Amino acid sequence: MDGFGRETPRFLDMSLKITIAGLTDIGQRRSRNEDSLEIRSKFGIAVVADGMGGHPHGDLASTLATGTVTTKLQEFAKI
C-alpha cells in the first residue's frame, strides 16, 4: 500500500516470443517478382510491400518502401 491507503500497482515481468517468416510468390501473371519484405525481429517489425506489377521499377519501389518504413520504425522504437 502507498501512504494514502491505496494498493501499489504491480507490474508483471513478462516476455513475448514471436516468430516471423516471409515468403513471396511470383504468381501466374508476371515474369518477375517485385514484392519486398523486411524483417527486424529485434524490434518486432515486419514490413511487406507489393511490387506494382507491370509498372517500371516496381521492384525498386517496393524495396525502397520496405527499407524506409523499417528504418523509420526502428528510429521511432529507439526514442
Q: Which residue has the higher pLDDT, 42 or 61?
A: 61
pLDDT in tens, 7-54: 777 777 777 787 888 888 888 887 888 899 999 888 788 999 988 777
0.75 cut: is pTM over it?
Answer: no
Asked whether the beta carbons of 50 and 44 are under 8 A apart, the reply is: no
**pLDDT number for residue 8:** 75
Confidence check: pLDDT of 79 > 60: no
3-class secondary structure, 70:
helix
20: left (phi over 0), alpha (psi -120 to 50) or beta: beta
> What CA–CA distance (Å, rounded) separates 74 from 71?
5
| Helix, strand, coil content of the chain in percent (nearest 5) | 25, 15, 60
pLDDT at residue 2 in the model: 64
